[in-house]
Each structure stands twice: as structure tokens, then as C-alpha cells.
Amino acid sequence: MTFQAPKGVSEYTPPRSAAFRRAIDTFAATVTRAGYGYLELPVFEDTQLYARGVGESTDVVTKEMYTFQDRGGRSVTLRPEFTAGVLRAVLEHGLHNGQLPAKVWAVGPAFRYERPQAGRYRQFYQVDLEAIGSDDPLVDAETIAIAWDWYQQLGLQRLTLLLNTLGCAECRPIYRAALQDFLRALDLDEATRARVEINPLRVLDDKRPEVKAQLEGAPLVTDHLCAACKAHHDQVRTALADLSIPWTDNPRLVRGLDYYTRTTFEFDHPLLGAQSAVGGGGRYDGLSESIGGPPLPGIGFGLGLDRTVLAMEAEQVAAAAVSTVDVYAVPLGDEARRRAFALLTELRRAGLAADMAYGARGLKGSMKAASKSGARYALILGERDLEAGAVQLKDLETAEQTEVSLASIVDTLKGKLL
């Protein structure tokens, strides 16, 4: 076979896909208990949604988006992140006109053209959660708590929660000016100097050692907060303390997208090397207006499924593939194959997970397949069994074998397994 998956795409096949699926299922259960409803979204949107929402000066928009013209001449982009698309859907379908906050979640792939490496892919997967329409600091704490509890339920114990605030439209301009004055005095390349004038907070997110070394004395946003932002941040921190969720204050934490205001957070894992951030999020109280909507505060997060699975594997808590088969049928002969196939469907309709040995396998090969399936019971059905209206039921754990009538086998197995 000459074809391979595109470079930089994360794929999940058994048995590793069991951890990926477990992460999604656990997240769905966690957020549903907190009142969040599911959204199914398109994987491409109008390019301007991301340009206006994410920020035209960000690396995501300037360097990483998969943008193309469709056959109608429209510029569309594969989603590089969820929040802008989620907010578009909430506004378009009027969810903001109901009970607030509108609480929604989504899951799926996102796309960024980056240099592939461990934990960084061009097609990657995220779970996303958004609470739109409330500026209550307790909503901030709720979103963080949901993410924290999800990680804990997956068995991850070595995460660090980093917490910051980025201020608001009132106090951030003062901080921005102070930061620009500081950055203009540094020895920076031309592209970074241009960024100082457009979005100086993004310079704080620069990962290059030669830049990071010069940022040691940069002014901190927490020293320039207005009274309202300081009170909001203090209430978030108090709520997290009440929930016994540990965090580390990181006044230099800047997320990579322009829409963040006030609460900003990130989850890091020490065993993942350079790509240690497994997820993060924050408040985006001005995003709705930037894409043409009404003033509407919001907060949310995007958590990377790929890096979460890597963290589960690093901590050795990744789930092994668990058999979903309860019963495995072993037919011997053509007529037995027909009867076993019908019995298979009866068992499934009764709520039991069942499979069978397909093809013209002999007893030895079929029993080997039954053992590999992970099933608890094997149903052995041959010509003599059919004549007697019976089936041989073998317990694959104890090797005990008994004869059961075909008429009662479904009820017998339901009694043992359900």
C-alpha cells in the first residue's frame, strides 16, 4: 500500500484508541452533570470569523490557518480553535436569548499548519466548553473546576494549574502602554518590534530563549489592574481555594489568542517536555462584539485530547483496550453458522455484546479467537447440538462447560451477565 496519513495528523487505533475514547466519554459525563449541552459544529467557517475573532496579529491567523477558496469563490478556513465558532453558533441560533449563561460543549478536530512534533499536530483534537452570557467570577471558577475534575477522573495527578488575569478594556490600555515602553528598549528582531506596536502582550508568549531572557523585568499586568478586575480575580481565587483546587499564580501567562480578558488559565504537565501545556482557556468578554454580536461576556476552555492521552500514558493511567464482547459464538458447520449468526443478533438485541468466529474455521482456531476476544463465555454449536436443540456454554475463565437449550440460552446469559 503506497498511501500514508498526511504529515502531522494524529490517528488513534486499537488498543491506544481506548484511552482517547475514555477521555471523551468521561468529559461528556462530567460536563453534562454541570448542565452543559452538546454542540455539533462545522469544521470550516468564513475566514473572517477567525480573522476578527482570534485576532489578525496572532500567529494562528498570520501563519497557521488552513484557508482556501471554495468553488463559489468564498474564503473558508478549517477551524484552528473552537471558541469563535461556538460563539457564532450561539448567536446564530439565539441561545443567548434564553437562560444565561448559555452553557455548551463540543469535541472534534482542529487544524493548524505547524511543524509537527510530539504533542503538536496539524490536525489535533480538543474538547471545548463555553459559558456565555455571565461575568460572574463563580462561572470562571466552575469552568476551571470542571476541567480539573475531568483530569482527576482520568487519573492524572501531576498537573499544574497556572492562573492569571489580563485586565479589561479600562485597565489594560494602561498596562499595554507600560509594557510597550519596556519592550521598545529591548534588543528585538524586526518582526517582534512590529508585534510590540500591534499586540505587545503576545511578545510575553515568545518561547525563544533569547527573547525570554530579556523579559525578566517586564511590568506585570497584576500591578496595573483596576479595582473591578482585582476584585474579580480575587473572587475566582477564593472560589478555587474553597474547592481545594491548587493553582500557581503566573502573572506572565498570556494565551495565544487576542480575545482573552480577565481570567486566564493553563494546565501544564511536567512529563510532556517542550509541549507541556495540555489545555487552557479564559474569559473573552469582548469577543461577541468583535464578530458583530451584542455585548455578551463569556468564558471557556479548549483542552487537548492528544496531549491528555500522552499525559495518561506518561503517568501510566491510560486505559488498555477493554473487551466489549460478552459472548463469542463458535459454530461448527454451515447450518451451525446460520443458527449462530441468528443467535448473535438475538443476544445483541437482548443487550449483550456478542461476536462470532467468521469464516470456515475449525474448533481450535475458533476457540483461540474466542479467548483473544476477551469474552466471558463461548457458545459452541455443532451438528449434534442442533439436533438436540442445545448449545455448549463454556466459561472462558473457569473452563467449565455446560449444555443449555437453544430456547433458553439468551435468558441464561442475561441472568449471568446483566
- Has residue 103 got a pLDDT over 70? yes
Report how far residue 264's alpha carbon sits from residue 281's, in angstroms, rounded to the nearest whole number.
6
**Mean of pLDDT over the chain:** 93
Residue scoring higher pLDDT (360 or 162): 162
Cβ neighbours, 10 Å, residue 48 = 13
Indicate the pTM of the whole model: 0.88
Task: Supply the angle between the helices 334-349 and 409-417 in degrees, to the nearest 10.
Answer: 50
- Has residue 15 got a pLDDT over 90? no
Report how far residue 165's alpha carbon sits from residue 227's, in angstroms, rounded to the nearest whole number.
13
* Residues pairing with 281 in the sheet: 265, 301
pLDDT digits (tens, 9 = 90+) for 55-94: 766 778 878 999 999 999 999 999 999 999 999 999 999 9
Query: Which residues are CB-contacts of 395 (< 8 A; sequence separation ≥ 6)?
Result: 376, 377, 401
The pLDDT confidence band at residue 361, using thresholds 50, 70 and 90, is confident
Return the pLDDT at 322.
63
What is the amino acid identity at position 264? T
Return the pLDDT at 345.
95
DSSP structural state of residue 15: T
Region label for 51, one of left (φ > 0), alpha (ψ between -120 and 50) or beta (otherwise): alpha
Return the pLDDT at 320.
64
Phi, psi at 130, each rounded to 5°? -140, 140
C-alpha cell at 171: 485597565
Measured in whole angstroms, how far is the alpha carbon of residue 324 from the centre of its chain?
A: 23
* Residues pairing with 356 in the sheet: 329
DSSP per position, 154-195: TT----EEEEEE---TTTHHHHHHHHHHHHHTS---HHHHHH
Place of cell 475449525: 362
Cβ neighbours, 10 Å, residue 319 = 18
